[in-house]
Amino acid sequence: MKGYLGVDVGSVSTNLVVIDDKNEVLVSLYIRTRGQPIKAVQDGLKQVASEISDSITIQGVGTTGSARQLTSILVGADSVKNEITAHAVAASAMVPGVQTVLEIGGQDSKIILLRQGVVTDFAMNTVCAAGTGSFLDQQASRLNIPIEEFGGLALQSKAAVRIAGRCSVFAESDMIHKQQLGHSLEDIVSGLCEALVRNYLNNVGKGKEIISPIAFQGGVAANVGIKAAFERALGQEVIIPKYFDVMGAIGAAILARDAVKKTKRTNFKGFDASKFKYKAGSFECKGCSNLCEVIEIFHDELVIARWGDRCGKWENMA
């Protein structure tokens, strides 16, 4: 059986999936990046190798996420695409006719508008944590609630408390104030869910035409309280795909499959890449006033890739 590997490496999680020619997910992994993308990718490769059967051969590899360039060097990628493209492709494959994609991860959030299968508009928030999963993690910790129980508590609320959600710092102080006033835990948690959704729609979704079918993906989609808050705010059904937490990796795998159908070959280095000794470094080029930060990747002390320079001087020397 032919398999296609997708790798999505972000600041919080590293996701790997293997799909077949019919978009069926054969392997799905969600790993914490913990600031070590090289280690996370190599650990992921080891796990994938142990989980796929001998009858599956990897015919193509795609990478996406903030560390997509680095990952492409580690694994030997056939396709390297940004998160917007990867998430849009996955949503189109998993949610027929999808027109709006709401994506909220640990450190950023995005909205993607598709019309007739084509991305027509998008927006991202990579600056403020108030509209991301880390916001919920912080407040759950402050309330001493396991994040896994957060959504269930929100659904038990009878009257959500309005909490200022435009800034995570102000939200926390407002939440403490509401606790001191005697509001129930369930109403406060529900209020936090609504605050995140309000922040998302007022910033990332501002001015966007949000029409159904609406897909909600990213790690925060596991929170049933957030799903319910979105449906109340939008007055529309929100669909959560089965593999909502690894949609970027699924999109990368689909794009890799499309790429190798054209080239008839793959650049995949094999699962032995999990054993290679890679090291990353950087330096500032002083060749001109741009002072570009150039990233270097070493394999057994040999430079195998460079990027980050605007003129291509160093990239072409690798």
Q: Parse the chain into domains and list their residue ranges.
A: 2-90+248-274, 96-240, 278-317
**pLDDT range class, residue 181, cuts 50, 70, 90:** confident
Q: Considering the domain 96-240, what is its CATH architecture?
A: 2-Layer Sandwich (3.30)
Percent of the chain with pLDDT over 90: 42
Choose between 112 and 275: higher pLDDT.
Answer: 112
Is the per-residue pLDDT at 306 higher than 60?
yes
Average the pLDDT over 64-91 and give the result.
91
- The pLDDT, as a whole number, for residue 316 is 67
Instruction: Map tokens 């020397």 to a residue.
Output: 317
Angle at 305 between CA 303 and CA 308, to 5 degrees: 120
Q: Phi then psi for 46, rounded to 5 degrees?
A: -60, -45
What is the per-residue pLDDT for 165?
62
pLDDT at 278: 82
Residue recorded with tokens 């699962």: 271
The rounded distance, in Å, linking the Cα atoms of 122 and 110 is 7
Q: What is the pLDDT of residue 191?
A: 85
Query: pLDDT at position 266, please?
Result: 94
Pair of tokens at residue 131: 């509209």
Asked whether the predicted pLDDT for residue 115 surpasses 90, the reply is: yes
pLDDT in tens, 193-234: 888 888 888 888 888 999 999 999 988 888 898 999 999 999
The SS3 call for residue 305 is strand
Q: Measure CA 124 to chain center.
A: 12
Q: Above 70 in pLDDT, residue 167?
A: no
Least confident of 85-94, 139-148, 244-253: 139-148
Residue 130 has pLDDT above 70, yes or no: no
**Residue 129 confidence (pLDDT):** 61
Predicted confidence at residue 174, as pLDDT, reads 77
Is residue 108 scored above 60 in pLDDT?
yes
Q: Report the SS3 class of residue 142.
A: helix
Q: Cis peptide before 146, with omega less than 30 degrees from 0?
A: no
pLDDT (average), residues 162-171: 69
- The CATH label, of 3.30.420.40, 3.90.1660.10, 3.90.1150.10, 3.30.70.150, for the domain at 2-90+248-274 is 3.30.420.40
3-state class of 77 per DSSP? coil
Output the pLDDT for position 173. 77
d(CA 89, CA 93): 6
Query: Residue 109: its pLDDT value, please?
Result: 87
Per-residue confidence (pLDDT) for residue 54, from 0 to 100? 80
Q: Which residues pair with 156 in a beta bridge?
A: none
User: Is 96-240 in the same CATH topology as 2-90+248-274?
Assistant: yes
DSSP state of 24: -
**Which comes out higher in pLDDT, residue 26 or 176?**
26
- Any bridge partners for residue 215, and if so which? 101, 239
Global pTM reads 0.84
Residues, the chain: 318
Quick one: which of 155, 76, 119, 115 has its CA closest to 251?
119
Q: Picking from 12-21, 105-114, 165-174, 279-288, which range would have the lowest pLDDT averaged per residue?
A: 165-174
Q: What is the pLDDT of residue 127?
A: 61
Q: What is the pLDDT of residues 35-63, one digit of tens each?
A: 888 899 999 999 999 988 788 899 999 99
User: pLDDT tens for residues 256-266?
Assistant: 999 999 999 99
CA–CA dist 206, 11 (Å, integer): 25
The whole-chain average pLDDT of the chain stands at 87
